[in-house]
C-alpha cells in the first residue's frame, strides 16, 4: 500500500486496485502514518523509496 501512496494514487484508486473499501485504505494509511511517526503521505512516499518498495521515476 505504501508503494501505491508513493505513486500518488488516491485512496479511492488504492481501494479499487486492492479490491477493498475506501475506509479500509484510510485505516491502513492512518496506521502506516502512526507506525512511521509520519505527518503526511509524502513521508510515506519517501519511506517507500528508501525501503526499495519502488524506484524513483
Instruction: For residue 57, name the pLDDT band (cuts at 50, 70, 90).
Output: low
| Model confidence, pTM | 0.85
Q: What is the pLDDT of residues 8-44, one digit of tens each?
A: 999 999 999 999 999 999 999 999 999 999 999 999 9
25 Cβ contact list (under 8 Å, min separation 6)? 1, 11, 14, 15, 18
Cell representation of residue 50: 528508501
DSSP state of 23: H
Domain boundaries defined on the chain: 2-50
pLDDT of residue 43: 96
Structurally, what CATH architecture does the domain formed by 2-50 represent? Orthogonal Bundle (1.10)
Amino acid at each position: 500500500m505504501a508503494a501505491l501512496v508513493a505513486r500518488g494514487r488516491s485512496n479511492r484508486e488504492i481501494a479499487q486496485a486492492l479490491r477493498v473499501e475506501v475506509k479500509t485504505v484510510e485505516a491502513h494509511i492512518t496506521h502506516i502514518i502512526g507506525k512511521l511517526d509520519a505527518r503526511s503521505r509524502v513521508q510515506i512516499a519517501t519511506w517507500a523509496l528508501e525501503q526499495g518498495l519502488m524506484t524513483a521515476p
